[in-house]
Structure 1
Amino acid sequence: MFNLTHMLKLLILLLIVLPAIFSSFIPIQIQALLYSVSLSIKSILIFVVPFIVFALTFSSASSLKTDTFKFIILLLFAVCLSNLLSSLLAYFAGCIMFNNIRVIPNIEQVKDGLSPLWHFKLPIMISNFQALFLGFACGIVSSYASPEKGKIIGDKLLKGALFFLKKVLSPIIPIFILGFVLKLLHDQVLSTMFNSYFIILITTIFITYFYIFLLYGAASSFKIKDWFMSINNMLPAFITAITTMSSSMAMPMTLMGSEKNTKERNVTFSVIPATVSIHLIGDCFFIIILTLAITSSFNEHSLNITDHAVFLFFFLLSKFAIAAVPGGGIIVMLPVLEQYLKFSPAMLSLITALYMLLDPIITSANVMGNGAFTMLFTKFYKKVKK
């Protein structure tokens, strides 16, 4: 899986870079064909994602490894609060950034832009919200009514969802990206965006890691020695995350580093596995800021505070349905972005491409954030438990 993931990441990177060099040599009909295939894959994704979301949330709700109801409630509350805080900080940082750094061009639709050869669209059987609600409800009910059967069903659903994501979806992600990249290049969007986004990406990286740095400080009561020692203990997990681009593969190192920091093996070994895929500080910052940037750039629809509030609500819920596959963090967000922020295919393809390129940085931020969260939650839980 390690080699397959790396090959897929490299292929995606090549499919973003190479077309920029050779797109002028690709016939328009071939570009239109590949763009049509990408749109068809997007339609299939939006159709399938709610079922994947149900499977992942059911599995998550039915498999928390703890014997106390209080622990589950406190952990879920803490995860939601942390993700909310990260998202709000990202939102306000993005708003301040775009009001003061004028690097976002208004991108207009090209009149003779690349058009698909056909239109393929599947009906939406169930919304993401319904899938999330049903997944959580069924998972919680099964964990109380029949924990063993609920765990078995959850494991089977998880295996089915991961099989589809890893064996079916992952191999076609490069094709999905390629068609949209060709569309963006043909319409002269990609070059403009990358030139304009450099400052934004650097600023986002700084803001994200500075926030995580402060979290470790808070978890260490801002004692300088403990502060830097706690970060040092997590460096092996950070290096593993940035090289493997997988929070799951970095989990053994995350467990070791967090145990050194908390000195509480039982709590640490319950928190990390349960939250590795749902507590995602990196995703919160990067997806929110990229969303604001792309919305500002295309300027196709006028969005009010209600639109952003609804999007933020579903964004936070979607954190419970992230799969450990390349691009999993953005894949489950595509229907939400399309439905609530009116993202066009070009906007969806751009945020997907940027997310893929930044995945090592986003994943390492997620892992470092999980280490800080575990320290803070352990201190909080020990006080509540007394």
Structure 2
Amino acid sequence: MKLIIRLLAAIIIGITVGSLYYAVGGAFFEVLVRLFITLEMILGSLIFFTIPFIILFFIASGISRITGGSGKVVGATVGVAYISTLGAGLLAYFVAILIMPLVTDGGAVPEEGEGLSPFFEFEIPPVLDILSALVLAFALGIVITVTKTDTMRKWVDEGKVITEYIIEKVIINILPFYIAGVFAGMAATGTVFDTLAVFGVVLLVAIFLHWVWITIQYTIAGALLGKNPFAMIKTMLPAYLTALGTMSSAATIPVTLKQVKANGIRNRIADFVVPLCANIHLAGSTITIISCTIAVMTVLPDYSMPGFFEILGTIMLLGVVMIAAPGVPGGAIMAASGVLMVNLGFNEAAVAFMIALYMAQDSFGTAANITGDGAVSGIIDAYEQKLHKKA
């Protein structure tokens, strides 16, 4: 909750500084806004330098660790989590393309290059580009799984620990300053309030869609288990509320486990599925990412509404890359940024808006993720019982 307060404060400060320059002008406010924009550029360069490492170490480690339980149960869990993520993304896309034309006529954000510029240019070239990191991560993860190479598994696991530490202790702490710079630059051009009105609607729609998808998930799980889906959702509310506060699927695992078992899911299924899904099932985050993606591509003049097959490829890749999402606040959007840059051509300005938007509702996306884990556990429990009956 402290992070949410800091992010809101950063947005307010950035808008205030930029709006004062736009309304009053003068050398003092110009210097102040340019200082904010320069800080945004420096911090953004550091964030984009980190993204390939997130993709490399988290995907490689995630793939190499998808073990435990019988092969059929592991495969079913991964498959259900992936289908859930894919369905959630498609739901968000179809709703967003219907709503976005009603709330914006496009071009609410200025063209790149308009407005004030930073005091100097500063760029940290990434060690790997996004696509190279993605391919290398899959290659390492699959080979480690097949060959059971302990040295390489230890290397990617330790790389994951180091990268997660950098995210949690550095990236998350600089995000408020970065977002303040984004909104200061936008407010300095006089477009900020039009844009905020659009993004506000999108975030409300995303939260609504979280609950729609949770209801769909539990309707399926309830039907398979012969249980009331709404009673199952009610049981999961403590986990949902805990996730709102922690903004972390990993930190909410103990509460999620307790509530999943309270829904009658057998212990050995819950003990396996919940920790695994905390890392690979991010349907709520995908809903937000796709909703915000359509919003950003609508308001930025350099982009147009993506077609179905273009967004389908993006969602399919997101479903895989969500394995790489660190279990810390904002982890999902950090992992997803690479996909958006490669598949949809997002530049740094577009990714900056995505980060700001995503972080504004991260707690709700996380809550939808872990609540959905309970439904996946129910589906896998029903599947495993069916396997035993056949045997």
Q: TM-score, normalised by structure 1?
A: 0.88
Q: 1:340 to 1:119 in 2, by over 3 A?
A: farther
Q: Is the Cα–Cα contact under 8 Å of residues 294 and 305 in structure 2 kept in the other structure?
A: no
The offset of 1:40, in angstroms, is 2.7
Match for residue 341 of structure 1? 344
Q: Please point out which of 355, 358, 361 is paired with 1:355.
A: 358
- Which region of structure 1 is more displaced relative to structure 2, 176-185 or 40-49? 40-49
Match for residue 118 of structure 1? 120
The CA deviation string for residues 208-247 of structure 1, in whole angstroms up to 9 with x for no partner, is: 2022112212211199962222112211101101122221
Distance 2:316 2:16 in 1: 40
The CA deviation string for residues 231-284 of structure 1, in whole angstroms up to 9 with x for no partner, is: 122111011011222212211111111122243111211111112022111111
- Please give the secondary structure, in 1, of the residue aligned with 2:120: coil
Match for residue 140 of structure 1? 142
The offset of 1:15, in angstroms, is 0.6
Distance 1:334 1:204 in 2: 18
Q: 1:238 to 1:303 in 2, by over 3 A?
A: closer
Distance 1:267 1:148 in 2: 27
Q: How do residues 179-328 of structure 1 correspond to structure 2 at under 5 angstroms?
A: 179-221=181-223, 226-302=228-304, 305=307, 307-328=310-331
Q: Percent identity?
A: 26
Q: 1:158 to 1:140 in 2, by over 3 A?
A: same
Q: Is the Cα–Cα contact under 8 Å of residues 265 and 381 in structure 2 kept in the other structure?
A: no
Q: Is the Cα–Cα contact under 8 Å of residues 54 and 132 in structure 1 kept in the other structure?
A: yes
Match for residue 382 of structure 1? 385
- Which region of structure 1 is more displaced relative to structure 2, 285-294 or 41-50? 41-50
Q: Give the AA of the match of 1:343.
A: F
- Please give the secondary structure, in 1, of the residue aligned with 2:270: helix
Q: 1:281 to 1:109 in 2, by over 3 A?
A: same
- Which region of structure 1 is more displaced relative to structure 2, 62-71 or 52-61? 62-71
Match for residue 40 of structure 1? 42
Say what the alpha-carbon RMSD is for the aligned residues.
2.6
Match for residue 3 of structure 1? none
Unmatched tracts of structure 1, length 5 or more: 1-5
Distance 2:54 2:61 in 1: 11
Unmatched tracts of structure 2, length 5 or more: 22-27
Q: 1:98 to 1:167 in 2, by over 3 A?
A: closer
Match for residue 54 of structure 2? 52
Q: Give the AA of the match of 1:298.
A: L
Q: Is the Cα–Cα contact under 8 Å of residues 38 and 179 in structure 1 kept in the other structure?
A: yes
Q: Does 1:371 align with 2:374?
A: yes
Counting matched residue pairs gives: 380
- Which region of structure 1 is more displaced relative to structure 2, 148-157 or 369-378? 148-157
Q: Give the AA of the match of 1:248.
A: A
